[in-house]
Amino acid sequence: MQHLRLRLVHAVAPIALLAAAPAIAQDAGPDDAIAEIVVTAQRRAQNLQDVPLSVTALDARAITEAGFTNSLSIGDQVPNLEIKTFGGVPNLAIRGVGNNDFNSSSIGPVSIYRDDVVVASTGSQIFALMDLDRIEVLRGPQGTLFGKNTTGGAIQYFSTLPADVMEGKARFGYGRFNLFEAETGVSIPLAEDFGVRVAGLVRRRDGERVNLFNGGKAIDIDEAAARVILRYHPGDIDARLSIGGGRDRSDYLENKPVGTMGGANLFGYRDPLPDNIRFLNFNGPSRNDSDNFFATLNVAYVFGDFTLKSITGYDKSSIDNRVDVDGSPVRIDEIKFLTDTRQLTQELQLSYAGERLDWIIGAFVFDENFNSRSEADLLGEVPTIAIPLVTEATRDNTSYAVFGQGTYELTERARITLGGRYTIDKVGITHREYLIPGLFDANIPDGPEIAFLPLKRDRDTWKAFSWRAALDFDVTEDVLAYASINRGFKAGGYNIGIVFSEAERTKVDPEYLTSYEVGVKATLFDRRLRFNSSAFYYDYTKLQVLAVSQQGNGLPALILDNAADATIKGLEVEILAIPARGLDLGLNFGVLDAKYKNYTSAAIDPVTGGSRDFSGNRLPGAPRFSGSASVQYEFPVGAGHWARLRAEYNYTGKKFYNNAEDDLISSGDRYGLVNLRAALGPDSREWELAAWVRNVGDKAYIIDATDLRDFGFVPRYYGERRTYGVELTVRFGS
């Protein structure tokens, strides 16, 4: 651990020292202070530094400077947050608590919120980022105020609201691989206290890699999104209606397979260029088509010290993903995922803000209808052994909850917070599988259905009480210390994805997590230094874990079961400093020790033939150390203009992608990425011209891998190659 930390410090220190040198000769002006960020991590507006929670908040400028493109691109900037996708399904982990399931039916313990509405469907969780006001990442169980399966934490995205005057911005960009981006956000007043904001985004890029099979490009990008927000806020009423959606016609992130049968796969294929990630070689379809529509109505009414709020949300997504899982010219494992999901949510809140007491109570209803069909072309290279498997599944999920939380001022410097939430989750599923001979052969008519697994129907109800207790204390006017105990809950569920035996159609019990956390938030030296740190210990029981194993018939077994328990402990540190006028220095890092305890899985050990014992192994997606450092310097150039230079280094320690601590199913090694950005503009900020480079060293790094050794290969997915470009941003209005 110490070795990893030293490597990060050694990499960042020279940049930081060079950038800090001008600070010796300059005096910081009175306006050179760290801006306050207002967050709603406790469902009320507060200064980030006054919230007794571990929260990372990114404002609009930070989002732009980091070059975030979609909802899953923020992982490098947030300590102890890991994000990946497989089969178009996002896998998010905060502090090692996450989801490692590739099925679209999976439900993760990290919730995503868009303008206060939970986005539960995996098909809706990947969306383009445009015209945002801020992003908030809440670590740890949020079972009181954010109750939909948030044992790991919550990520919130907040749109820019309509302004009272005509104003807006437009951004245009061009970059490597013919990248083209256009984004806009415009506020238009329609009447007194009534206005609209219209935002839109188009992003296209040619494939960054070459497919040797057909000579074409691979992993291209083609996405678009739009959003309209109407806002009416006369006096004590604030009503917002948001309607939007997006489409994605991009390629799926294709892999480079590693042969596990003497260096080859089941049919003898070997990657001709195993050490060059620029080249892929696959024959199957590889695309990620998705359409999403959402609508949100948020109405708040203030009367005296009370606020009554209603939040209504509707979300619909349709997914058509085609995945060549084997990544080769032969047909071993090629899957089409078709998913349609509809969700409706309603939340009511009543809050009170008094001199010494703040409280909120509320009720929440969630209703989801999930339908999926998967068509898997397994071993299709040899028709006599081919398995043209079709999986059909549905899930009806209804959740009810009542909640409340209050903060009482014990003294002028100390406050206590208590909260609780009672949740009822009702889940009903159907699942069946069958074979259709000839389904994947255009020259053979489809044959009649052959039953593989009969129709299964099941329904269950889970109930739980989650709670929070916290004490925070003003050590000084600028230093806050806090301690908390949180209890989180994730409902039980079913394995209704692609399976190969009746034993895999499991039902799992709820999982529970109790978090013990202490932290400090300090804003020092006239707001020129912000230091936030938290340390935590998790008692994690009945984890819902997907394990991949062999079952002796040439097909993998995908077992979803409850791990016995786990313990997680760690630390996060976030530092932002402005030592001199125009100079920003940032350093964030997380230390993590996440291990299973007494976990004997239902998966089979291929060597002993018995159950696999994962006790003592690290949890998937939980590197021991991760961090980022940045240096940004803005200075005047000529009359009435400025220039800004930014360097950023993101580091991730080695992480495993399965439960077995298997080097073959891992990131292979730790890695670090360097990003650069330079910008120029007038003092009026009416326009900005910027140039950027990401992954300057063109580092090849593995972001996911899956154990498919029953088919003779392990697919490895690599992160984005070096990209660069220029962009022009134009702003108008007040």
Secondary structure (H, E, C), 470-484: EEEEEEECCEEEEEE
Per-residue pLDDT at 550: 63
pLDDT at 371 over 70: yes
Q: How far apart are CA 509 and CA 515, in angstroms?
A: 20
How is residue 691 written in tokens?
């140039």
**pLDDT per position as a tens digit, 59-88:** 998 888 888 888 888 888 888 998 877 656
How far lies 284's CA from each of 26, 145, 392, 446, 704, in Å? Answer: 60, 45, 22, 20, 20
Per-residue pLDDT at 552: 56
pLDDT at 690 over 80: yes
Number of domains present in the structure of the chain: 1
Range of the domain at 382: 2-733
Q: What's the pTM value of the predicted model, to 2 decimals?
A: 0.91
Cα 468 to chain centroid distance, Å, stands at 24
Per-residue pLDDT at 629: 96
How many residues make up the chain in this entry? 734
Q: Taking a C-beta distance cutoff of 8 angstroms, is the pair 399, 491 a contact?
A: yes
For residue 548, name the pLDDT band (cuts at 50, 70, 90).
confident
Q: In what order do the strands lie in the sheet with 217-218?
A: 217-218, 209-211, 279-280
Amino acid, single-letter form, for residue 344: L
Per-residue pLDDT at 551: 60
How is residue 252 written in tokens?
């799926």
CATH number, position 118: 2.40.170.20
pLDDT at 19 over 90: no
For residue 602, name the pLDDT band (cuts at 50, 70, 90).
low
Cα 486 to chain centroid distance, Å, stands at 22
Average pLDDT over residues 404-416: 97
- What SS3 string covers 265-286? CCCCCCCCCCCCCCEECCCCCC
Q: Are strands 110-114 and 153-159 parallel, antiparallel or unpaired?
A: parallel
**pLDDT per position as a tens digit, 135-180:** 999 999 998 998 777 888 999 999 999 999 999 999 999 999 999 9
Main-chain phi, psi angles of 282, to 5 degrees = -140, 150
Please choose, from the candidates 504, 501, 505, 417, the residue with its C-alpha nearest in 3D space to the C-alpha of residue 467. 417
For residue 721, name the pLDDT band (cuts at 50, 70, 90).
very high
Q: Mean of the per-residue pLDDT values for the chain? A: 90
CB within 8 A of 551, min separation 6: which ones?
Answer: 500, 501, 557, 604
Q: Taking a C-beta distance cutoff of 8 angstroms, is the pair 357, 409 a contact?
A: yes
**pLDDT per position as a tens digit, 205-252:** 999 999 999 999 999 999 999 999 999 999 899 999 999 999 999 998
For residue 671, name the pLDDT band (cuts at 50, 70, 90).
very high
Average pLDDT over residues 583-596: 95
* Structure letter (DSSP) for residue 116: T
Q: Taking a C-beta distance cutoff of 8 angstroms, is the pair 645, 692 a contact?
A: no
Would you call 521 helix, strand, or coil by DSSP? strand
Q: What is the DSSP string of 179-200?
A: EEEEEEEEEEEEETTEEEEEEE
**pLDDT per position as a tens digit, 259-316:** 999 999 999 999 999 999 999 999 978 888 999 999 999 999 999 999 999 999 999 9
Residue 613 buriedness (CB in 10 A; 0-12 / 13-18 / 19+): middle
